[in-house]
Structure 1
Amino acid sequence: MRIFFLGGLVCATLGAVPLAQATEAEPFTRPHRFSAQDIAAFADARIVALKAGLQLKAEQETNWPALETALRDAAKARVARIEETRNSGAAAFSADPIGALQRRAHYMAARSGELDKIAAAAKPLYDVLDEAQKRRFGPLLASALHERMRGAPGARRGGDMTSAF
């Protein structure tokens, strides 16, 4: 019994050492924020992943460029909105809540127009996909748009096809 107690005490002590060192090292720091170039690179990777995941056949490839262009345009606009938000300052909402709500409404209206363009560009491609490709299309597109789908792995509770920007 005494050996189990001493073994437990040793394990607890050894486990606490890294925690003590971590708290002494430096106080909580703000998580890293990705640069505009980082965000654009991730968007490019998600678009490439969409195409790879669909495994398009040669006859389907002709419908891909329109969707890719619409996705890239939306990604560029998203990066611009993120940069604009960052440049306006973190305290902008508390300093001017009405202005912040108006900017948010403007961003959402712009995003709505982008999604309409993406839907129009995606329809011809979607119409020529086989059943397996159609099954993958929704989750892959949501990922390419950097959005969450209800019920998808990692989706926020109550999430849908809306984005933060």
Structure 2
Amino acid sequence: MKKHLLAAAAAVALTLPLSAGVFAQQAPAEHHHPQFSAEDHAAFTDAKVAALKAGLKLTPAQEKNWPAVETALRDIAKARAARFAEVKDKMKDIHEHRSVIEGLQLRSKGLAARAVETEKLAEAAKPLFDSLDEAQKRRFAILLHTIAKGPHHGHEFGGPHEGPEHD
């Protein structure tokens, strides 16, 4: 019972606007985004994965397909955090001197990585998705879209932005 309440609370928390006072600590003015630690990212990933699973209300037969989806989601979150840290480090040194071409190259690299990750998620999720009923499929789409809106407004699980200028 407690597990279900915790998952439901996480699902509700994920739908609240991120501009609420909970995230009062802001990054430098040019980024307009909260600062999150590696622990924060891990906690949000845990909550998002738990919310998706809780929202799907999987049957025992469907549960066997869940681990592949969870692994893919966690791998995407880890890879995205690593890319963000890499881009952020590069930008510290070259931010003022970055050319438009360097910016396009960084964006292209991020989009290519996201394309690969999105395909892996699609492959991992297909067996589970195929086993879901129509209500579960609808919730899967809604919840996946909702959790994709990460704390940096980039889309952790497949959205359009990459790098500190967008995250």
TM-score normalised by length of structure 2: 0.67
Q: Equivalent residue for 2:127?
A: 124
Return the offset for 1:32: 4.1
Q: Equivalent residue for 2:142?
A: 139
Deviation string 1:17-53 (CA, Å, 9 cap, x unpaired) is xxxxxxxxxxx98464111221222122111110011
Q: Equivalent residue for 2:114?
A: 111
Q: Which moved more, 1:116-125 or 1:87-96?
A: 87-96
Contact 1:43 1:75 in 2 (8 A): yes
Instruction: Give the one of 35, 56, 59 matched to 1:57.
Output: 59
Q: 1:29 to 1:72 in 2, by over 3 A?
A: closer
User: 3-state SS of the aligned residue for 1:33?
Assistant: coil
User: 3-state SS of the aligned residue for 1:59?
Assistant: helix
Contact 1:47 1:68 in 2 (8 A): yes
Q: Equivalent residue for 1:24?
A: none
Paired AA for residue 74 in structure 2: R
Deviation string 1:70-98 (CA, Å, 9 cap, x unpaired) is 11100000110111122123573541222
Q: Any residues of structure 2 matched to 1:68-83 within 5 Å, and which?
A: 68-83=70-85
Contact 1:60 1:129 in 2 (8 A): yes
Contact 2:62 2:128 in 1 (8 A): yes
Matched, 1:163 2:163: no
Deviation string 1:90-143 (CA, Å, 9 cap, x unpaired) is 573541222222011001000000000000111100111011111101111123
Q: 1:163 to 1:36 in 2, by over 3 A?
A: farther
Q: Give runs of ≥4 in structure 1 deviating > 3 Å.
A: 28-32, 90-94, 144-147
Aligned length: 127
Q: Equivalent residue for 1:43?
A: 45
Distance 1:134 1:32 in 2: 32
Identity of aligned residues (%): 49
Distance 1:94 1:105 in 2: 20
Distance 2:104 2:86 in 1: 14
Paired AA for residue 49 in structure 2: I
What runs of 5+ residues in structure 2 fail to find an aligned partner?
1-25, 163-167
Contact 2:76 2:117 in 1 (8 A): yes
Q: Equivalent residue for 2:4?
A: none
RMSD: 2.5
What runs of 5+ residues in structure 1 fail to find an aligned partner?
1-27, 148-154, 156-160
